[in-house]
Amino acid sequence: MNKWKISFLILLSLNLLFVLLISAFLLTPDKKPSEQINQADNAEKTVPFMISTDKKSLTELINHYLVEETDQENLQYRVELKENVNVYGVINAFNKDINMALILEPIVKPDGNMQLYVKELSIGRLKLPVSYVLKYMTTYYDLPHYVVIDSGKKIIDINLDQLTFKNGLSARAESFNLKEDNITFQLFVPLP
């Protein structure tokens, strides 16, 4: 065979092989990129769940976490959900235990955050000026970043949208009607 003929056949074979390989790579589906895209989408996705409860159950849950998460030796208090949010506690002043009561009216804001209007604050039988005590709290207490106090309006804002639990859960208040015993939260669970 002629030298040119052999060279032509080799070049033609290489070109055909190249075209076949490119066609195979383009036409063969690969699942890895779409799986990676789905995983990237899921990394930022959460699944919402509606959680409804009653005053009794939520009171029990709140008080459980108060015992677990707070220093109960120095500050002992408990919450009761009735027509308002009632916080009762005992503070130690002058080496004597004194009862404390805080009466709050809960309000669900349109953005899903909670607002607590302070109706009354008393130590023993003495009713204290609410705005003064709230101003004292903002000045001298290290409050979590999601709790904002407006002492002039007697309001405590709990910004649930800034609160994320250790496991990535977040929440949004939907309703908090204590008179009708209708308490609903939307819980957002992150996808793995």
Express each pLDDT in 135-159 by its tens digit. 887 887 777 788 899 999 999 999 9
Are 125 and 146 in the same domain? yes
Are 89 and 133 in the same domain? yes
Confidence grade of residue 109 (pLDDT, cut at 50, 70, 90): very high
Are 32 and 58 in the same domain? no
Region of poorest pLDDT, from 26-35, 65-74, 176-185 = 26-35
**pTM assigned to the model:** 0.69
Residue 34 confidence (pLDDT) above 60: no
More confident residue, 3 or 132: 132
Are 170 and 117 in the same domain? yes
Residue 169 is predicted with a pLDDT of 85
What residues make up the domain containing 20?
A: 3-43
Going from the C-alpha of 160 to that of each of 16, 85, 190, the distances in angstroms are: 63, 17, 16
Are 24 and 83 in the same domain? no
Region 6-12: what's the mean pLDDT? 67
Residue 39 is predicted with a pLDDT of 47
Total residues found in the chain within this entry: 192
Are 23 and 103 in the same domain? no
Are 34 and 80 in the same domain? no
**Which tokens is 4 given?**
């040119």
**Which tokens is 161 given?**
């949208």
Confidence grade of residue 73 (pLDDT, cut at 50, 70, 90): low
Q: In a 3-state reduction of DSSP, which class is residue 145?
A: coil
More confident residue, 81 or 38: 81
Residue 40 is predicted with a pLDDT of 47
Torsion of CA 76, 81, 86, 91, to 10 degrees: 0
Are 110 and 158 in the same domain? yes
The number of distinct structural domains making up the chain is 2
Are 36 and 52 in the same domain? no
Torsion of CA 148, 150, 118, 107, to 10 degrees: -60
